[in-house]
Amino acid sequence: MHKPRIAALALTTIAALALGACGSDDGETTDSGAELINAGTLTVCSDVPYPPFEDFDEDSDSGFKGFDVDIVTEIAARLDLELVIQDSSFDALQSGQALNAGQCDLVASAMTITEDRAKNLDFSEGYYDSEQSLLVPAGSDIASIGDLDGKKVGVQQGTTGKAYAEENASGAEIITFPSDAEMFQAIKADQVDALLQDLPVNIEHTRTDKFEVVEKFATDEQYGFAMKKGNSGLVDEVDGALDDMRGDGTYDDIYNKYFATN
């Protein structure tokens, strides 16, 4: 197993985009047909922070932590690849822009598999079942999505949470933010009345006791790792690693680290 060499590369998103636009001399197609932008390296893009799935961590080898980070770290190890993680905007990730520009090989960013995204991206098998949820300040008079008429609701650009709010939050003023970090600052500053997004992320915001999740929405959503359209070799390798992780208990160990309840 190679130790990930990430410190100097983790935050060089602009440089990576520039290299991708020119094409990399180090690019590689492996024996299985997986295409990599740099030989021997799995380059991963993620929209950070989005805890508990991805967050910054200066004390870790990768510079990042979270459920997605642990999963792709294990995948890279099983594929005998070094790992580089880069921060990128979610909109560039879900649209396929980052992958097509050669910024990364794989997107690990709590991304729901949808038919629209699958037109531009290839996905791994689903690795996490998700729900949407509604977060409000403790003591709010908002108890459900039906109480949002005339209220301001924060959502993230390009997400299924935004689509759910647009379809179901009747009468609400929907305010779009680039990431969860800006959304959470907005609700703390009373700029919005509620946040509608993935349940685990909203649960993280309840740790301050100043906010609560008042409603969950079952949507049958699954997260998948996204890859460039046509990179079937890498999809197969990632799916094989995920299957092996489920078979030997590694996936359950990582899952329980973040989501186990008593």
Tens digit of each residue's pLDDT (9 = 90 or more) over 180-218: 999 999 999 999 999 999 999 999 999 888 999 999 999
Residue 3 predicted with pLDDT over 90:
no
Omega within 30 of 0 (cis) for the link into 4: no
Q: Which residue spans of the chain are classified as CATH 3.40.190.10?
A: 13-127+224-259, 130-221
**According to the model, what pLDDT value does residue 143 have?**
97
- Cα separation, 128 vs 224, in Å, equals 7
Assessment of whether the complete model's pTM goes beyond 0.85: no
Question: What is the spatial order of strands in the sheet that 152-156 belongs to?
Answer: 173-177, 152-156, 194-198, 128-137, 211-223
- Cα separation, 180 vs 182, in Å, equals 5
Q: Are the CB atoms for 210 and 198 separated by under 8 Å?
A: no
Amino acid at 260: A
- Cα separation, 39 vs 229, in Å, equals 19
Question: What percent of the chain shows pLDDT beyond 70?
Answer: 89
Tokens of 131: 């729900």
Q: How far is CA 106 from the centre of its chain?
A: 11
Q: Specify whether the backbone of 158 is left (phi greater than 0), alpha (psi in -120 to 50) or beta.
A: left
- Cα separation, 27 vs 36, in Å, equals 6
Write phi, then psi, for 4 (nearest 5 degrees): -60, 135
pLDDT digit string, tens, across residues 82-136 = 999 999 999 999 999 999 999 999 999 999 999 999 999 999 999 999 899 999 9
Q: Are the CB atoms for 42 and 76 separated by under 8 Å?
A: yes
Q: Which residues contact 262 (CB under 8 A, 6 or more apart)?
A: none
CATH 3.40.50.720 corresponds to the domain 13-127+224-259: no
Residue 262 predicted with pLDDT over 70:
no
What residues form DSSP beta bridges with 223? 112, 128
Q: What is the CATH number of domain 130-221?
A: 3.40.190.10
Pairing type for strands 35-36 and 28-29 reads antiparallel
**According to the model, what pLDDT value does residue 23 have?**
40
- Cα separation, 131 vs 143, in Å, equals 17
Tokens of 179: 């990431």
Q: How confident is the model at residue 8 (pLDDT cuts 50, 70, 90)?
A: very low
**According to the model, what pLDDT value does residue 92 have?**
95
| Overall residue count recorded for the chain in this entry | 262
**According to the model, what pLDDT value does residue 95 have?**
95
Residue 99 CB-half CA count within 13 A: 28
